[in-house]
Amino acid sequence: MILDIKDLAVEYNSVPAIDGLSIAVAEGEHVALVGPNGAGKTSLLKAISGTVRSTGAITFDGEPIQDLPAHERTQLGIIHVPEGRQVFGSMTIGENLRLGAYRTQARPRFQERLDLTFELFPVLADMVARPAATLSGGQQQMLAIARGLMSCPRLLLLDEPSMGLSPVVAEEVFNSLERLREIETTTVILVEQRALEAFEQCDRAYVVESGRISLEGATADLLADPTLASAYIGS
């Protein structure tokens, strides 16, 4: 297991967002986290990357990391591509990618990672000098993922990459994730609202509801599970 979480709890202003959650991810796996909004999926990613405080045990590569500050977790290779993309709008694509390679281990491999990025996202190669704020939503999302890839991630946390994107553009983003899988063996945790698209990318999935896991299993099995839809809408 590259990532092992036991009994995680996160609260904001006394309101619990995650309440006793345990998951485990093996190296090289692609795992999906789905569930209705407000369920705690983003909070879970933030707890893993260290951007929010949490209680409970988080083990990465055998080492406990729950007391490590966020920037040190990045140095370990835990790369969080945040919700809403959060690219540095005033900087060019090139500069954003450079920042992606800030991690010490990634710097010597900058050119190699850049080539990979342009292979996966050719549209970015043509626009290297453009400020990120001028990109469309889909292009920014690709930039955000590319930026994450620049750091040679060992564990890639993707938070709702299709949010706010039209179905066609979201499809492009998911396609690039597929191509990524062909090239690299990074472990990925994918948070998504679009459940089926997420399942297509991933081997296993967890359904998160009200801060807890309500369903888990291989994606193939979950697709057949009738209780899945009710987690979202109730019927």
Partner 1 sequence: MRRSFLIFTALLALIALLGALITDQFALQILTLTLIWATAGLAWNVPATAGQISLGHAAFTGIGAYGFVFCVVQFGWSAWVGMAVSMAAAAVLALVIGLPTFRLQGFYFTLATMAFPLILMVLVIAGGHPEVTVPFNPGEPIASMQFRDPRSYVWLALGAFAVVGALCLAVAESKIGRTLIAIRDNEILARSVGVRTLVWKLGAFCFSAAVSAAVGVIWVNAILLVVAAEEVFGFAVSILLISVTFVGGIGRFWGPIVGAGLLIPLSQFLTVQVGDRVPGAESIVYGLALVAVALVMPRGVFPTIADRLTRRGADGPPDEHRTDNAEWRALAREAKATSSDDVLLEVIGVEKRYGGLTVLRDATFTVGAGARLGLIGPNGAGKTTLFNLMTGHATPNGGSIRFRGEDITKLPAPARTQLGLSRTFQVPQGFRSMTARQNVEIAALGSGLGPAEADRHTRAILCAVGLGGRADRLPSALTAFELKLLELARAAVSRPAVLLLDEPLAGLNEAERGDFFAALDLVVDEEIAVVVIEHSVKALLSYSSELLALDGGQIIASGSPREVVRDPRVIKAYLGNKFAARYSLVSEPQKADQP
Partner 2 sequence: MTVVQFIVTGLLVGGVYALISSGLGLIFGVMRIVNFAQGDFMMLAMFASYLFWVGPRINPLLSVPIVFGVFVLLGIIVYRYLVGPVAGHRENHDAQVILTLGVGLVLQNVMLLAFGSTPRLMSIPALEFGFNVGGVYIDGPRLIGFIAAAVTATVLFWFLRHTILGRAIRAASENWEAATYMGINLRKTYAVSFGIGIGLTAIGGAALSMYQPVGPFVGLNFTVIMFAAVVLGGLGSVSGAFVGGVIIGIVQSVSQVWSPSTLANVYVFAIFLIVLLVRPQGLFGRKQRAI
Q: Which is nearer to partner 1, 2 or 228 (CB)?
A: 228
Q: Which is nearer to partner 1, 155 or 195 (CB)?
A: 195
Residue type for 107, please?
A: R
Six token digits for residue 81: 């591509």
The candidate with the shortest Cα–Cα distance to 143, out of 172, 123, 129, 170, is 123
Which residue has 């309500």 as its token pair?
214
Rule CB under 8 A: is residue 151 a binding residue for partner 2? yes
Write the CB contacts of 16 (distance below 8 Å, at least 6 apart in sequence): 9, 10, 211
Query: Which listed option, partner 2, partner 1, none, makes contact with residue 102 (CB within 5 to 8 Å by class)?
Result: partner 2
Smallest separation (angstroms) from partner 1 to the CB of 96: 21
List 31, 32, 81, 152, residue binding partner 2 (CB under 8 A): 81
List 30, 41, 80, 154, residue binding partner 2 (CB under 8 A): 80
Query: Which listed option, partner 2, partner 1, none, makes contact with residue 49 (CB within 5 to 8 Å by class)?
Result: partner 2
61 phi and psi angles, rounded to 5 deg: 55, 35
Six token digits for residue 206: 């967890």
Rule CB under 8 A: is residue 79 a binding residue for partner 2? yes
d(CA 123, CA 64): 39
Residue 228 zone, left/alpha/beta (φ > 0; ψ -120 to 50; rest): alpha
Rule CB under 8 A: is residue 75 a binding residue for partner 2? yes
Rule CB under 8 A: is residue 164 a binding residue for partner 2? no
Give the distance, in angstroms, between the CA of residue 18 and the centroid of all CA atoms in the same chain. Answer: 18
Smallest separation (angstroms) from partner 2 to the CB of 42: 12
Rule CB under 8 A: is residue 30 a binding residue for partner 2? no
Interface residues with partner 2 (CB under 8 A) are 49, 51, 69-71, 74-75, 79-82, 86-91, 95, 98-100, 102-103, 107, 147, 151
